[in-house]
Amino acid sequence: MVSRIHTSRGFTLIEAIMVIAITGILAGMVAVFIKAPVDSYMDMSRRAELTDVADTAVRRMARDIRLALPNSVRNPSAAGADQCVEFMPTRTGGRYRAAQTAALTGDILDFSTTDASFDMLSVNNSLPVSEQITANDIIVVYNDGSSGGNAYAGGNAIRVSSVAAGDTTGTTKINFVATGTTLFARKTLPSASPANRFQVVPSNEQVVSYACSGNSLLRYSRDISTRTTAWAQPATCADMTGGATAATLATNVTSCSIRYEPPGTGTGAGRYGIVSISLGMTQAGESVNLYHQAKVDNTP
């Protein structure tokens, strides 16, 4: 009787090594073709991220600057200090009563004396919450940039003590703080507004500045309400930002210019200025450069 021997056969070591080698060669060839698209995708992702950060930063700056108190935007006084800018922000604005009604009612804003209150010609509670006037906000009238019309010096700016219903329907009573020595204490306001307008500077920050420092773009806020002397125009960016509260707006900044161009001559002179913002950012060898302009309305 003959028995049969069944054997099974697998891969030899040589065959396994050959398969590994061929697979490695094919993988290397595929990697050569895939590397460029993958690198391009990563580069595009970094550029898109940088662009998004830079665009968000300059738009935030532009939004703040467009709400600046008229004639309050300024660079430092030293030549070439164009890496920072400061201004006084506003929350809202309105019109004050300049004359009484036919029935001799209504609280006017009196510029001949140290007035204690006036009627705003609208209802404060009807405004969006973010725009409502509250205690400790600052009322500024006719900030035309003159020596008297300069809110940084406080001559045309007074702090609100309280807000109540006005003397007539559809108005709001704005009461001023008592007289004192602080910058925004009650005083006789120097000049009436031709349009009977006023602006409101928020109580929590009276001065805002943007500045590039190192590789970062920062937003600074400052409370000058307790000062007894004017906040003079700083000479340098360090003077402008020193002691203020800082918040980082963007990092990886490699170039920066924030230049305020005041109104020129001719038609519209004194009304509109321009803040030109140039921002360059670099990360992992990828760079983006953005240029943006924000119009400044200087009509007080």
- Helix/strand/coil (H/E/C) assignment for every residue in 178-211: CCCCCCCCCCCCCCCCCCCEEEEECCCCCEEEEE
Residue 4: the pLDDT is: 59
Cα–Cα distance, 220 to 122 (Å, whole number): 32
Q: Tokens 């120097």 label which residue?
A: 190
Q: Tell me how long the chain is.
A: 300
pLDDT value of position 252 = 94
Whose structure tokens read 């703040």?
Answer: 64
For the chain, which residues make up each domain, given as ranges?
47-88+205-297, 90-203
Beta-bridge partners for 203:
none
Look at residue 39 in the predicted model and tell me its pLDDT.
60
Tens of each residue's pLDDT in the chain, 300 residues: 555 555 556 667 777 888 888 888 877 777 677 767 766 656 677 778 888 989 999 999 999 999 999 999 999 999 878 899 999 999 999 999 999 999 999 999 999 999 999 999 999 999 999 999 999 999 999 999 999 999 999 999 999 999 999 999 999 999 999 988 999 999 999 999 999 999 999 999 999 999 999 899 999 999 999 999 999 999 999 999 999 999 999 999 999 999 999 887 444 456 899 999 999 999 888 889 999 999 999 998
State residue 28's pLDDT score. Answer: 75
Instruction: Write out the DSSP string of 104-133.
Output: S-S----TTTT--EEEESS-GGGS-GGG--
CA–chain centroid gap for 257, Å, is: 15
Which of 189, 206, 231, 196 is CA-nearest to residue 136? 206
Q: Pull the structure tokens for residue 262.
A: 């005041």
**For residue 12, what pLDDT is reported?**
79
Q: Alpha carbon of 275 to those of 26, 58, 78, 139: distances in Å?
A: 57, 11, 17, 25
